[in-house]
Amino acid sequence: MSVIESVDKGKGSRMQLNKSLSNTAQWVKLNVGGTYFMTTKTTLCRDPNSFLCRLCSEESDLISDMDETGAYMIDRDPTYFSPILNYLRHGKLVLNKNLAEEGVLEEAEFYNITELINILKERILQRDKKLCSEQVKKHTYRVLQCHEDELTWMISTMSDEWKFEQLVNIGSKYNYGNYDQAEFLCVVSREEGVADSPKTESTDKAKELQQRASRM
């Protein structure tokens, strides 16, 4: 091997070593509440004003202890840190069903990730609006009395706004010719604020059944 070849080989080895050291320097190890996370400086600095970006910055003004493995020690809940780190990785907020948005918001505020804070606040607002809307829904109930031969007709002429809830056989029997007719109470309901359709009030028989119910 010539001297030139030996020098070139030495330069190549040093370049590979420097490249390897450079790549290693990009990786950051975090110890969050006893759970380890591996990520890169690029990921942590998605929000340059965040606590995490300042933590791994070479000119950091933050003081943070490191454990024996060289990981930055952060005394926070690791359960809520996972969705935060994933958000920094791909820019999307993905939460498990059993994970509360409020818990993630608390951590996002601690790490000062502004964009994620806004997303979580809007998500919580929309969730609460939906829950409030579902809770304030009230229902109107009616009990309609009818004979056995009227039951099928009454249900078939019921408008779409009304929902069948329960059918009760009250045990009374009326004799019509050679047939005994059982009598039933039909319980129906609808959400308040829904107007009756023309189909409901189109017949005198439907009105008669409703009048019977109001007298009970």
125-167, pLDDT tens digit by residue?
A: 999 988 887 666 677 888 888 877 787 887 777 777 788 888 8
Statement: residue 191 has pLDDT above 90: no
In a shared domain, residues 51 and 77: yes
Residue 199 confidence class, pLDDT cut points 50, 70, 90: very low
Residue 205's domain comprises 139-214
In a shared domain, residues 67 and 10: yes
How many separate helices (H) and strands (E) can be counted in the chain? 8, 6
CA distances from residue 118 to 52, 68, 81, 109 in whole angstroms, order as listed? 18, 36, 17, 10
CATH number of the CATH domain containing 13: 3.30.710.10
Q: Which of 211, 210, 169 is nearest to 188 (CA)?
A: 210
In a shared domain, residues 39 and 90: yes
In a shared domain, residues 54 and 143: no
Domain end call among 133, 166, 189:
133
189 pairs with which residues across the strands? 141, 163
Q: What is the per-residue pLDDT for 2?
A: 57
Q: What is the per-residue pLDDT for 123?
A: 94
Q: What is the per-residue pLDDT for 11?
A: 54
Summary mean pLDDT of the chain: 78
In a shared domain, residues 145 and 128: no
pTM for the full predicted model: 0.54
In a shared domain, residues 54 and 104: yes
Please give the Cα distance from 27 to 35 (Å, whole number): 17
Residue 16 confidence class, pLDDT cut points 50, 70, 90: low
